[in-house]
Structure 1
Amino acid sequence: MVSARLTSPASEATAIGGMTKRYLLALGLVAVLSLTAYVSLRQTIATQEASAAIVNYSGKRRYTSHRAALFALKMAASEDTVTRNQARHEMLDSIALMESAHDGLITGNPLLRLPGNPSPAISLLYFSGDRPLDTLVRDYIDRVRAFGEAPGPIGGRDHPDVQWILDTATGELLTRLDQVVAAYQRESEGEIARIQTLETMVLAATLTVLAMEALFIFRPMVVRVRDERRKLVRAETYTRAILDNSYDAILTIERGGLVRSANRATTTMFGRQLDEIMGRAFVALVPGHDLPSDWSEPPQGLRSLKATRIDGKIMTIDAVFTMASVDNEVMVIATLRESTEQLQRYARDLERRNQELDQFAYVASHDLKAPLRAIVNLSQWIEEDAKDTLSPLVRDHLAMLRSRVRRLETLIDGIHRYATATRPDHVPETIDTSALVREIVEEHNPKERFTVTLPERMPTVIADRTRLWQVFSNLIANAVKHHHQEQGTMVIGVREIGDRYEFSVTDDGPGIAPEFHERIFVIFQTLTPKDVKDSLGLGLALVKKIVREEGGSITIDSSEGKGATFRFTWPKRPESRSEVARA
């Protein structure tokens, strides 16, 4: 079979939505971790660059202080003017580099990639003590610059400025600068260690999150995809099995009228191979019928179609067309069933029997009643003509004869009512059951012998008023007619059960023994002799027939001497005859 898979958009959207949310969550977590790792890497590079620049320029400051001292000594010891001037120039350049590095280390210099703002520990080295390092460095720079810019002869290496420069550069300044360089190195190593710890933590967090994603996101997603695929395969197999083993031919028709898919029953029905049906116009399978050309709107209701098998056999097909969405494409599903001769014969037999029943009801209600009326008239004429010679016993016999004839007329009327009780002769209408029951109570309880209690609220139903009236009327009339006392009570009840209402009629009469609960619903069956109480035994049988025809049921709850409760169900809306038959 070639068949299209029908999917449920709601369930498919739910499954895709759930997996999409999990996948987006996983991507979000990975993105956050990647961004964190990137920021950490950038911070590490920036820290290493800054640390390298700080260590480099703190060392360069130490180096240029020694270089300035050496050129100061060369300048003082040289007797050659050119050499002395070269030494002065080199000394001033060195002291300028030293000043630039010192200022950058303290206040910062973007060109030199020096951040400035030394830590509190290094700030103590620069600015604390009797003679802070910053003051010492700036005094050294000023003294060297003043020595190099002084005019005239220098006076040899014994010059006081030269001695101070040499002593300071190799003594206190060297020691203090070495302390700062060591402090910068320690801080740089500590910062690098801290960043490495942070990177380790980020790596551990990344691995943890990836493991959690694998366990709680990707693994459930894989399981979900596997389960959904298994369900899909099972659903396709299930659907294919149903379609392949269906007695009905099932086809899908495109909007252009071509057959998209068909099941095995289709090939059996038309006697054609599947490739002879697929892609063929549906109207070519059932020619000569008024069917749509574009199939944008399928034919409504049940259609009876004539078709010819490939072997020439003409068959009648019952067809139903419905719209469906197949793979997001609107298509028509055609369900075809061959009308068999047996079903047609059953239909003809049923129609004939209904006609016979109608004829019998007509004969019983008209032709049989005419002779009965003649018998009554003849008995009255006999009694009138021989009134002077008739004995009282004969008069009683004639009266009994007329009574039996009238009972027979009533019996014939009952048979007619029973036979035609469920004919759909009336159009359903909206009925206020409270008003209906009140009218029936007033009709059967004119002298208010009974105290009748109704619910505060009773429902409104859509039904055949005559049929519902017959049900309530017979139940209420029975309660009044068969009550064993002059005064009595009756309670009408109702409750909702799904798409139906359950009505009840309860009385405090003599009750009915359980062994008679089935008998009372049989036509013409009574619990008291007909001579004692005029009753045909038709009412409850009629009630049961009407209720069952409406798809409901009727039960009795009673025992002798304890009253009786009759309960019956009635649909809120009228059901079709096919639904009632299936029920």
Structure 2
Amino acid sequence: MNTNATLRASQSSSAAETSLETSKEFEDFIYLISHDVRNSVRALIELPQWIAEDLTEAGVKIDGSVAESIELMNKHTGRLDRMLVDLLTFSRVGRMQNVEDVNIDAALSEVLEEIPMPSGFTVVRALDCEVVTIGERDIMTLMTALISNAVKHHDRSLGKIVVSSYRDREDVVLSVRDNGPGIPAGYHERVLGAMTTLRPRDEVEGSGMGLAIARKIAQLYDGRISISENQEGRGTTIEVRLAVGSP
């Protein structure tokens, strides 16, 4: 009986190791192919501009269906490039960085300098916990994903985003609360999946990878991500728990 139990435990451990190796190989593949394909996409992004310049130099007026076609090419190549960037970001989670004590306030300031924030939006800091142990790039990626998601899906010109942090026993909890339209309860799990958007991409530009990236980071640090509706009846709070001292 003990021999059988030992054998089953060994087989289970071996299967887990094989699964991890397969997952890593797949992510390595995503990284490589996304990087190579993006080089071609960059050329495609410039192609409509070259066509427009050549037509102008030849004295051809760019209007009507030609202008529409060039605009459509710009739109779709830009969308493809954003998707590849997000796939690269997804594959880079936990890689090629130092896990260290990171100042949350300083990381947030750096993120806000990079995100194009609408003029009518304010960001409130409620950072009761100052430090989290995490990859130096993962914290930036996590905050960028959560804040960009709140901005992108807001439905008003005036918005408020509250970024919070606190300790809860062995966890550091980071949360981003907004006063946007909210996410229906039945879709909370769905929006955490890859390539998922609740609105057509013609209405909201994006790859649908933001929250999937945030969930991957949470899981890497033995944590989890959750979505809840705000008690005041409007908006969403996305909370990420990270285990202290992981991974």
Q: Same fold judged by TM-score > 0.5?
A: yes
Larger radius of gyration: 1
Aligned equivalents of 2:102, 2:69: Cα separation in 1 = 48
Structure-to-structure mapping, 1:399-438, within 5 angstroms:
399-423=71-95, 425-438=96-109
| Corresponding residue of 2:168 | 497
| Corresponding residue of 1:361 | 31
| Corresponding residue of 2:237 | 565
Deviations 1:400-452 (A, max 9, x none): 113212211221222222123233x2121111223323433454375663333
Aligned equivalents of 1:348, 1:541: Cα separation in 2 = 23
State TM-score, norm by structure 1: 0.37
Aligned equivalents of 1:247, 1:558: Cα separation in 2 = 48
Aligned partner (choices 147, 156, 160) of residue 485 of structure 1: 156
Higher helix share: 1
How far did residue 456 of structure 1 move? 6.1
- Residues 1:551 and 2:222 are matched in the alignment: yes
CA spacing shift, 1:360–1:463, aligned 2, 3 Å: closer
Deviations 1:230-271 (A, max 9, x none): xxxxxxxxxxxxxx94779xxxxxxxxxxxxxxxx9xxxxxx
CA spacing shift, 1:507–1:359, aligned 2, 3 Å: closer
Higher strand share: 2
Identity level (%): 26
State TM-score, norm by structure 2: 0.81
CA spacing shift, 1:431–1:346, aligned 2, 3 Å: closer
How far did residue 340 of structure 1 move? 7.0
Give the superposed CA RMSD: 3.3
Aligned residues: 242
CA spacing shift, 1:456–1:416, aligned 2, 3 Å: closer
Aligned equivalents of 1:447, 1:377: Cα separation in 2 = 27
- Residues 1:382 and 2:54 are matched in the alignment: no
How far did residue 397 of structure 1 move? 0.6
Aligned equivalents of 2:122, 2:198: Cα separation in 1 = 25
**What SS class does the counterpart of residue 524 from structure 1 fall into?**
coil
CA spacing shift, 1:365–1:561, aligned 2, 3 Å: farther
**What SS class does the counterpart of residue 451 from structure 1 fall into?**
strand
Aligned partner (choices 122, 137, 142) of residue 471 of structure 1: 142
- Opposite residue 52 of structure 2, the aligned amino acid is E
**What SS class does the counterpart of residue 217 from structure 2 fall into?**
helix
CA spacing shift, 1:351–1:553, aligned 2, 3 Å: closer
Aligned equivalents of 1:500, 1:431: Cα separation in 2 = 15
Deviations 1:152-180 (A, max 9, x none): xxxxxxxxxxxxxxxxxxxxxxxxxxxxx
How far did residue 555 of structure 1 move? 0.8
- Opposite residue 540 of structure 1, the aligned amino acid is L
Contact 2:127-2:166 at 8 Å conserved across structures: no
Contact 1:512-1:561 at 8 Å conserved across structures: no
How far did residue 551 of structure 1 move? 0.8
- Opposite residue 406 of structure 1, the aligned amino acid is G
How far did residue 375 of structure 1 move? 3.6
Contact 2:94-2:135 at 8 Å conserved across structures: no
- Opposite residue 147 of structure 2, the aligned amino acid is I
**What SS class does the counterpart of residue 454 from structure 1 fall into?**
strand
| Corresponding residue of 1:449 | 120
Aligned equivalents of 2:225, 2:4: Cα separation in 1 = 37
CA spacing shift, 1:544–1:386, aligned 2, 3 Å: same
